[in-house]
Structure 1
Amino acid sequence: MRQFTAAVMAGMITLASGPLWAQTGTTEGEVRRVDKTTGKITLRHGPIAGELDMPAMSMVFQAKDASLLDRLKPGDKGRFVVSKDDGGYWILSAEPEK
């Protein structure tokens, strides 16, 4: 209980599964690769606004929701919500371009 209280006081709640706090941002991008074996998506994205404040580049993200791996394919363009925590970079959601 003492460790949990200290984590809350530090501004981050930590449970057995890891930190609940993460930096997030939104970007426009294009899916370059989907790897269902590893659960990863390569995204060529524009600048990421928000807490991440990242320039445009191509990089690999882990899919937070496995259903994204079935819904996205190379060439898909849209708006993505991404995050970074101690475990790496994640795609939280994807809204395809219409």
Structure 2
Amino acid sequence: MNRIIRIAAALALSAGLTFGAVAAQSASISGEVKKIDEGAGKITLKHGPAKSLGMEEPMTMVYRVKDPAMLKQVKVGDKVTFEAEEATSGYTVTKMDKAK
């Protein structure tokens, strides 16, 4: 009986980790840097659907950045993956990495 409980616990943990990884991937948005405005702390990104933000269609948008240092890590033309959130002042990029 103890072995069955351990197997069930391992399966539940495995399923939970898999779901968490899928949820994290769905929050990531693929895009391309079109413009950087360091003075205003903004970046223009052309991106595919952003389901985490309720955007079903590809579009080009201006985003604020949570950390201005993010703007120094990319240049116009770079492919990126990013996460963003909606705030009262608009959409804000909270995480951004160059695409691999």
What TM-score results when the alignment is normalised by the length of structure 2?
0.68
Counterpart residue number, 1:77? 79
> How far is 1:64 from its partner?
0.6
> How far is 1:74 from its partner?
0.4
Q: Secondary structure at the match of 1:32?
A: strand
In the alignment, structure 1 residue 86 sits paired with structure 2 residue 88: yes
Q: Any unmatched runs of 5+ in structure 2?
A: 1-26
Tell me the percent identity: 38
Superposed CA RMSD: 1.1
Runs of 4 or more consecutive aligned structure 1 residues displaced over 4 Å after TM superposition: none
Higher helix share: 2
Task: Give the number of aligned pairs.
Answer: 73
Native 8 Å contact 1:26 1:49 kept in 2? no
Which protein has the larger Cα radius of gyration, Structure 1 or Structure 2? 2
In the alignment, structure 1 residue 57 sits paired with structure 2 residue 59: yes
What CA distance in whole angstroms lies between the structure 2 residues aligned with 1:56 and 1:39? 23
Q: Any unmatched runs of 5+ in structure 1?
A: 1-24
Counterpart residue number, 2:48? 46
What CA distance in whole angstroms lies between the structure 1 residues aligned with 2:28 and 2:90? 16
Q: CA deviation digits over 1:25-77, x for unaligned, max 9?
A: 43100000001111100000100022x12021001000111111111110110
